Amino acid sequence: MQSVPNLSVKEFAAAISRCRSELSPNFLKIADYIVANPDEVALSSMRGIASHLALDPSNFVRFAKFMSFSGYPELRAIFQTDLRQVRMEYSERARHLQKQGKQIKETGLLTDLRNANASNLDYVFEHNSPDILKQTALTLLDADRIFILGMRSCFPAAFSLHYICRMVRSDVTLSSGHGGTFADDIRGIGPNDVFVVIGTHPYTTMTVTAANYAATCGAKIITLTDSVLSPLAAHAHIVLTFDRKSPFPLIPGTTLPIMALVEALTTVMIVNGGEKALKAIRSSEEQLQEFSAYITGTSTPSETDKK
């Protein structure tokens, strides 16, 4: 096919659409993956993607040349350029968002945001089947201990998972690193334990380090991440994925699909927890009642409670 100078990602996808009938089964498999996963193409090695697709890396070289690139690195470069333009600093994102706000009414921006998040939620339930969620839930229920880690924007999801798991069983640790005790939180983790790690691009160095450490200790790794090629998925026993598509650069990025995935997982966990889970939840409720954790009915805290 004829080369297109300074091809953009969008133009590359259009070129693939035009020549689909000319592609061999292997080339079609590569093309569909590249178009569907532009970030992975930019961030991952050719061999990593080839292994994921169960193809010989030489297929990628031939595919790139078929598409009139000098080789795979030149093809990959257009995705890296596109990613650099999207992965702006937060201050740049804010400036870009303000510029969009002047061009489009706020109602239009919010409609785009709603549609993007609807797509993100669809992705969660389309890419994480009931079977894999049940397998994950049973793995958590069967573990001797559960360790959970999610840093920065993923911390709310980690906290939510920890909160629900603690209602079902007591031996659950949230790795927070408070007071510089990050390493202490996962000390003693072993083969009968499960380490749940939550992370998204850009991946936090400490999160990757902790996942690798837990794997060397023999723990089962359950990863919730934005790509099967994520460094957090390297040693994973189970990988659950979410997407964070956005119509415009968000600050700092939507956490809705991550929370939805955690909610789906904890729901299936409770469903499969049996009487043991119900007993643990009742015990949690009774303890909270002892501490008057919640206001019930129309009563209000007494003056003594306020002091």
Domain ranges of the chain: 9-86, 122-290
**Four-way CATH pick for 122-290: 3.40.50.720, 3.10.310.70, 3.80.30.20, 3.40.50.10490:** 3.40.50.10490
Strands 172-174 and 194-199: unpaired
Per-residue pLDDT of the chain (307 residues; tens, 9 = 90+): 444 446 777 788 888 888 888 999 999 999 988 887 887 788 788 998 999 899 999 999 999 999 989 899 999 988 887 766 555 455 666 666 666 666 566 666 778 778 878 888 888 998 899 999 999 999 999 999 999 999 988 999 999 999 999 888 888 999 877 766 677 888 889 999 999 999 987 788 889 999 999 999 999 999 999 887 788 988 899 999 988 766 555 555 678 899 999 999 999 998 998 888 788 778 888 777 878 877 776 555 555 555 5
Specify the pLDDT at position 107. 64
Cα 132-177-204 angle, rounded to 5 deg = 60
Specify the pLDDT at position 4. 42
Residues in the chain: 307
Class of domain 9-86: mainly alpha
Q: Is the dihedral of CA 275, 278, 282, 287 positive or negative?
A: positive
Q: Residue 76 and residue 7: Cα distance in Å, rounded?
A: 11
Written as six digits, the tokens of 80 are: 């890296």
Other CB atoms within a 10 A radius of the CB of residue 68 amount to 14
Specify the pLDDT at position 3. 45
Specify the pLDDT at position 198. 95
Written as six digits, the tokens of 260 are: 């939805």
Task: Return the residue matching tokens 């009642």.
Answer: 289
Q: Is the dihedral of CA 233, 271, 118, 126 positive or negative?
A: positive
